[in-house]
Structure 1
Amino acid sequence: MMNRRSLGHLALCAAAVASLGLPLAALAADEAPDAMIKRLSTDVLNTVKSDKAIQGGDLTKVIALVDKTVMPNVNFRRMTAAAVGPGWRQATPEQQKRLQDEFKILLVRTYAGALAQVNDQSIQVKPLRAAPEDKDVLVRTEIVGRGDPIQLDYRLEKTPGDGAGWKIYNLNVLGVWLVETYRGQFAQEINAKGIDGLIETLAARNKANSTAKG
């Protein structure tokens, strides 16, 4: 299970795509994935550092920022389905929607709490090992600042159609992949209590987090 430090730095992965919600979104379709990660990470980290409310721990404001700008640029259905595992195919459309909703709340609050702790970090993007025609790539980065560098890797896919561009579907913090981490936890819940039991567990966790941090 990921510790508090790992979860904290995980937020910076999500922050890297946050400014896709700005007018620069049109650039995303033609922009190389490593260049996109570098530009967006720098933009968002600078924004967080200059926002006194976020620095002061205004969780409501940070949640709104992450929810509005980050999540639309993640293939969240794919991420949730992968985290739930084989049980996803047995879930009804309503159960799938509930799972996405509760998983989203869980991750947004994780990202939000960590963004409030951003101070003097910056990002370094490692050389991209991918061919121009690749539709699925790994972008490797490090967050540098205080202490040892933090490994942050992104799995991105190229999406076709009107919303063409790169979307994140998995994140790696310090060698731990987000989807695989949650898949193990979710599998235990599903085996013990079924899909509805997993939904209830996530809802209860989110309610407890809201009470504790709200």
Structure 2
Amino acid sequence: MMLFAALRKYFAVCMLLCSSLAFAAHPAETFVESTSNDVLAILKRESRAGNEKAVRDQIMARVLPHFDFTRMTGLAVGKHWRSASPQQQQALTQEFKTLLIYSYANALTANKVDAINVKPVTAAGDNGEVTVLTEVMVSGKKPITLDYRLSPSGNSWKVFDVMVAGASIVTTYRNSFNQSIAQHGVDGLIKQLTDRNQQLAKGATGS
């Protein structure tokens, strides 16, 4: 009887441990949730008319270190990336980074965000890359789905693509970038991005 009692206790402990492990959040999920909570706190604390630039700057300070903009730019430029000179790659990365900053921040500041719900990791590759799904709950509108593709980076994670409503940002831009490069070359794409960012900067400052 004592043996059976001990076995029951042993299996109960095993089941409890397995249950805890099964529901433990993936590190990438925890990372995205922590970052999202900080962004939401900034939006709720700072969002008011005339304060858009301050909100954008604070959000970018929080999220920028966690984006791999070089990889994102390479993926967006596609087959032309390797043929671009180091100087062109650097310029492309800077301009694409600036464009993404405006797009990401404007998407958040243009709406009244009530909550950001982070869902469990849905896909994990052999190289450790994962996809974390989130829903941005917006007052009076349907939720905005923002899904992040991340790769391990030391003790943290780096975002290398974002899916908006299921559409990959780098894939979407790749189509237009390839058309621009085919017509005007890499330098033409750099100029196109520079001009676009200057327009966005004027709109952001109200000038």
Q: Is the 8 A contact 2:152 2:158 kept in 1?
A: yes
The one-letter amino acid of 1:192's match is Q
- Name the SS for the 1:148 alignment partner: coil
- Could you report, residue by residue, the CA deviation over 1:36-72 in whole angstroms, capped at 9, with x for unpaired residues? 2122212220221111xx4224343234324433222
Aligned to 1:14: none
1:40-189 to 2 correspondences below 5 Å: 40-51=35-46, 54-129=47-122, 135-146=128-139, 147-160=141-154, 164-189=155-180
SS at match of 2:82: helix
Q: Following the alignment from structure 2 to structure 1, what is the Cα–Cα distance between the partners of residues 157 and 67?
A: 9
| SS of equivalent to 2:121 | coil
Q: Deviations over 1:4-34 (max 9, x none)?
A: xxxxxxxxxxxxxxxxxxxxxxxxxxx7111
Q: Secondary structure at the match of 1:36?
A: helix
Q: Secondary structure at the match of 2:176?
A: helix
Separation (CA, whole Å) in 2 of partners of 1:132 and 1:58: 41
Runs of 5+ unmatched residues, structure 1: 1-30
Determine helix, strand or coil for the equivalent of 2:122. coil
SS in 2 for 1:85: helix
The TM-score normalised by the length of structure 1 is 0.75
Higher relative contact order (CA 8 A, sep 6+): 1
RMSD of aligned residue pairs (Cα, Å): 2.3
Equivalent residue number for residue 9 of structure 1: none
Give the percent of matched residue pairs that are identical in Structure 1 and Structure 2: 38
**Aligned in 2, Cα 1:159/1:149: closer, same or farther, shift over 3 Å?**
same
One-letter identity of the residue aligned with 2:191: E
Unaligned runs of 5+ in 2: 1-25
CA distance in 1: counterparts of 2:144 and 2:53, whole angstroms:
26
Contact in 1 for aligned 2:130/2:150 (Cα 8 Å): yes
1:123-149 alpha-carbon deviations (Å, 9 max, x no partner)? 222232356986100111222243322
Distance verdict in 2 for CA 1:82–1:130, change over 3 Å? closer
* Matches of 1:63 and 1:46, distance apart in 2: 13
Change in CA separation of 1:187 and 1:57 when aligned onto 2, cut-off 3 Å: farther
Are residues 55 and 189 of structure 1, via their aligned partners in 2, closer, same or farther at CA, if it must alter by over 3 Å? same
Q: State the number of aligned residues.
A: 180
1:45 maps to a residue whose letter is L
Cα drift, residue 168 of structure 1: 0.6
**Amino acid across the alignment from 1:74:** F
